[in-house]
Every structure is written in structure tokens, then in C-alpha cells.
Amino acid sequence: AQSVTQLDSQVPVFEEAPVELRCNYSSSVSVYLFWYVQYPNQGLQLLLKYLSGSTLVKGINGFEAEFNKSQTSFHLRKPSVHISDTAEYFCAVSVFSGGYNKLIFGAGTRLAVHP
Amino acid sequence: DAGVTQSPTHLIKTRGQQVTLRCSPKSGHDTVSWYQQALGQGPQFIFQYYEEEERQRGNFPDRFSGHQFPNYSSELNVNALLLGDSALYLCASSQGLAVRNTGELFFGEGSRLTVL
């Protein structure tokens, strides 16, 4: 069964520093990969997605992610974070079954940006 | 363009009671998925509705049931509530079958259920 592992439950970082949030997935077939962000007391908002093509994907708010098939990873990066980036970040993989698909999420990484 | 809307936003129930949560999908979407997000965890897939039928189901007991209406809106029902059912319940919508979409979901703000 497909699964998603987010290697860090919490990542503290200072404002304007770079950050990387790590994500590994397990799948034997082609995958669609996603990063979602959840601000306090809100639902999930799509940051970026990898469907095919270029392995470097750019998303909203200056985030980008790199798909690495050999390492089954999809790490999220930002070169300079802001206080407003403090949130929970979820990596997800799309799983297809019987003509339908669903998203399987990792446990999340809490990004805390300090001044 | 209205996004995914859920109601109620917050509710408190006691053990053994029943609860109904409601969801209206994003305009143009016909598939609704429900997720449970316990505190400090990632969302867990409950089930998915398309054409008024349950199409996929996660590892949740039969106490969790749902419905989809002809206008694509959906309800999640939970019977015999347990303390462990306390969570944020997220509704997400998408368009059609897997062959026509990438799996991207659009989420509502969620309904926070507290069971005492």
C-alpha cells in the first residue's frame, strides 16, 4: 500500500533563513504528489503539485519542490521564509483504485518561523 | 466562484450521540471526499462519493456513513459517538473519475467535533 512519510514533525527556523521540509513516499507505480499547507483553524490549501514533466515544481508563496524518483522523495523548499509561513505542511500522494483516486497524507510537519 | 463550504464549523456532542456534518462542493465539482484529522495528525480518508454512491472507503467502522444528493452536496453521519471521534472533519471536492483528474482536492474549512 502506498504511504507517505514526513521525516520531521517540527522544523524551527529563523525569519529569512532557508528551509527544507522532507517527504518520502512508497509506490511502485507512477504517482502524483502534492504539498498542502494548513494555517491554524483552517482547511488545507494546495501549495504545489507534481504530475509529470519537470522534476522541479514551483508553487505559491515562493515554495518549490523537487521530485526524485530514485529516492522516492518530494522535498519542499523555500529560500527565505517569513513569519507568515508558520503553519502545518502536509505531503500527499494520489492513489488510484478501481477508476477512482484519493489522497494519502503524511503526518505533517509544523514549520515555526521565529523573528 | 464559491469554494467548498462546510457546516457547522464547531459542535460539541456527548458520547453515544449521533452527528451529521454537511458539505457543498466547489462549483463544477461532482465528487466529494471526507477526511478525519485528529489533533496533531494528518488527514485520514473516510470515504468518497460520486454519482450519489460510495465509491471508496477507508478503514473506518460502519458507524461512519454518508450520503450524496443530486446537487452533489454531501453529508457525513457518525453514530454512537466515542471520545476518539473528536477531530476536525474535512470535506474535499474534485471533478469526476480518476481518468479525468489528477487527484487534486479542494478542501473546506472543516467541522470541528468535540465529543465529551
> Of A114, A53, A46, A56, which is closest to residue A85 (Cα–Cα)?
A114
Written as one letter, the residue type at A48 is L
Residue B102 has pLDDT above 90, yes or no: no
Of A4, A49, A107, Cβ closest to residue B102: A49
Buried b (16+ CB within 10 A) or exposed e, A13-40: beeeeebebbbbbebeeebbbbbbbbee
pLDDT confidence of residue B97: 66
Digit-coded pLDDT (tens) for A55-91: 899 999 999 999 999 999 999 999 999 999 999 999 9
Residue A40 has pLDDT above 90, yes or no: no
Q: What is the mean pLDDT of chain B?
A: 93
pLDDT confidence of residue B99: 59
Between chains, do A107 and B50 touch, taking CB under 8 Å as contact?
Answer: no
The mean per-residue pLDDT over the stretch A34-40 comes to 94
> Of B71, B2, B72, B62, which is closest to residue B33 (Cα–Cα)?
B72
Identify the band that residue B100 occupies on the pLDDT scale cut at 50, 70 and 90.
low
The mean per-residue pLDDT over the stretch B68-80 comes to 97
> Scanning every residue of chain A, which has its alpha carbon at the shortest distance from the alpha carbon of B49?
A100
| Residue B2: C-alpha distances to residues A53, A114, B24, B28, B92 (Å) | 31, 35, 9, 10, 13
- Using left for φ > 0, alpha for ψ between -120 and 50, and beta otherwise, residue A69 falls in alpha
Digit-coded pLDDT (tens) for B10-66: 999 999 999 999 999 999 999 999 999 999 899 999 999 999 999 999 999 999 999
Interface with chain A: mutation pick from B23, B37, B53, B114, highest number of A CBs within 10 Å: B37
